[in-house]
Structure 1
Amino acid sequence: MDNRNDLTPTVFLPGFLCDERVWSDTLARLNLPGAMLAVHFKDCKDLQEMLNLVHDLPYHQFHLVGFSMGGYVAKLFATQHPDRVQSLSLVATNVGPLSERERQWRLSMKEFLGKYQYRGMNEKELSRFLHPKSLTDAHITRTIVDMSAGYTSEMYLNQMMATLDRKDLTSELRQLSCPILLVGGREDRVVPLKQLEALQQQIPKAQLDVIEECGHYIPLEKPAEMAQILSQFFSGHP
């Protein structure tokens, strides 16, 4: 008899301009005892709708895994509803507010997209996010380009503005009783490893794992390593 439905499920949240496909390669290598569900935020108009989407999932408790922007949503949800989150995994996620440089770049995109229709990320933009080796992998680059191309200008702006003004949740995370996992790519230029190391020092109970030869898109660039880290983490916190 299969009791998977009776076991704690795991919910996976995507990053900016992503959908469920950002987790597909990792989930294909992951065999957890409970259900695994990857969601997307494409239809959410603001941060509250993102939080509501997670809140309204048909699970009383679940493991929560967030990538990049999805990690911020995961952190915020966990601090607001600690009774529902059995463990929190943050993958390539900013520690606090966006840098002023990143914030200004996003605001410039707001002005641009007020005039032009978004057509998706081009391959030149990928060099900002990916490790050089990943840039030569057509599967990785095509998945990212295809995911972003599924966004209209309105969707892009809704998602960007929803998480533009991010709070530093370090003190709130320190108060959580659930296990916390941090995962970073050694060569991630969007979320430098030093940020995650600083967070881990402030939250001593948090576990930090670093993936070598990896940029920002960890679940796509290194799915086998990502799956192994999650498997080991969950085996200690079923």
Structure 2
Amino acid sequence: MPDLRGHGGSDAPDGDWSMRDIVYDVADMLFALGLKDTLVVGMGIGGLIAQALAAEFPQSVRAMVLIGTAAKLETEERWLTRAHALSTLPDAERAQALLHSATRKSADTHLRDIAQSTPAQTVRRMCQAVAHTDLRISTDALRLPTMGLVGRDDRITPPDLMREMTEGIPGAQLQLIPRCGHLTPYDAPEMTAQAINRFIEQTGHLLPDPDCENPTI
């Protein structure tokens, strides 16, 4: 699970960032690790990255799990407005704004700390990158195993938006997670993990362990 540019321990290059820049960061990591035919899981903006990665580097992505995302997220104007507004808030208020409407549960200390530790300029640059991203044509052209997961109560990327995206990819699955908001892995970790594990088995990514008692599991 990589830290994107400007997040965690990763550097934050100067200037504005495009979604292509961010996608190429992930592609460079895959190349450096010698990874091919991967199953990529992306949530929210990570889902945009997964779609673009599959379109740009098809040899690197054999299957995708897209959680609470879409091929186009809202309008450019709204994302640019959000970029400016979030980058001018104090850290605690910015964290609260990022988590508002994202979960049906109260955010715990760990989740708040993650949101609060993300630098204001990183949030601004990521929002600007999303503002200029429209993957509807390239995502509709994808032909690879895909599963979409979305919370029934997701107000940021509603189920209908996810359904529209997955219907454009032949054979793609869509699973709704009950009593769950936008942060599906946070609101419903067990159901999310179970859905991903089933998909891993279906796509042949889960290999038998020859050292276990029953190697067929």
TM interval, shorter chain, is 0.7 to 0.9
Q: d(CA) in 2 for partners of 1:124 and 1:174?
A: 32
Q: Relative CO higher for 1 or 2, CA cutoff 8 Å, sep ≥ 6?
A: 1
CA distance 1:187–1:158, shift in 2 (3 Å): same
Q: d(CA) in 2 for partners of 1:216 and 1:51?
A: 22
Shift of 1:228: 0.4
Counterpart in the other structure of 1:77: 53
CA distance 1:101–1:186, shift in 2 (3 Å): farther
Counterpart in the other structure of 1:179: 145
Matched-pair contact (CA < 8 Å) for 2:38–2:63: yes
Q: CA RMSD in A?
A: 2.3
Following superposition, which runs of at least 4 residues in structure 1 exceed 6 angstroms of deviation? none
1:54 aligns with 2:12: no
Matched-pair contact (CA < 8 Å) for 1:123–1:141: no
Counterpart in the other structure of 1:4: none
CA distance 1:50–1:82, shift in 2 (3 Å): same
Shift of 1:80: 0.6
Deviations 1:189-221 (A, max 9, x none): 000111112223333411101100000011111
Identity %: 21
Shift of 1:124: 7.1
TM-score by length of 1: 0.71
CA distance 1:94–1:63, shift in 2 (3 Å): same
Counterpart in the other structure of 1:188: 154
Matched-pair contact (CA < 8 Å) for 2:76–2:132: no
Q: d(CA) in 2 for partners of 1:44 and 1:181?
A: 31
SS of residue in 2 equivalent to 1:128: coil
Q: Which of 103, 107, 110 matches 1:130?
A: 103
Counterpart in the other structure of 2:210: none
Q: d(CA) in 1 for partners of 2:116 and 2:154?
A: 23
Q: Which runs of 5 or more structure 1 residues have no equivalent in the other structure? A: 1-37
Q: d(CA) in 1 for partners of 2:70 and 2:110?
A: 23
CA distance 1:100–1:175, shift in 2 (3 Å): closer
Q: d(CA) in 2 for partners of 1:101 and 1:186?
A: 27
Q: Which of 107, 116, 120 matches 1:149?
A: 116
Shift of 1:83: 1.4
Q: Which region of structure 1 is more displaced relative to structure 2, 93-102 or 223-232?
A: 93-102
Q: Which of 95, 120, 130 matches 1:163?
A: 130
Deviations 1:106-163 (A, max 9, x none): 14416x52xx6534645576342112xx12xxxx432321111112222222222222
Counterpart in the other structure of 1:63: 39
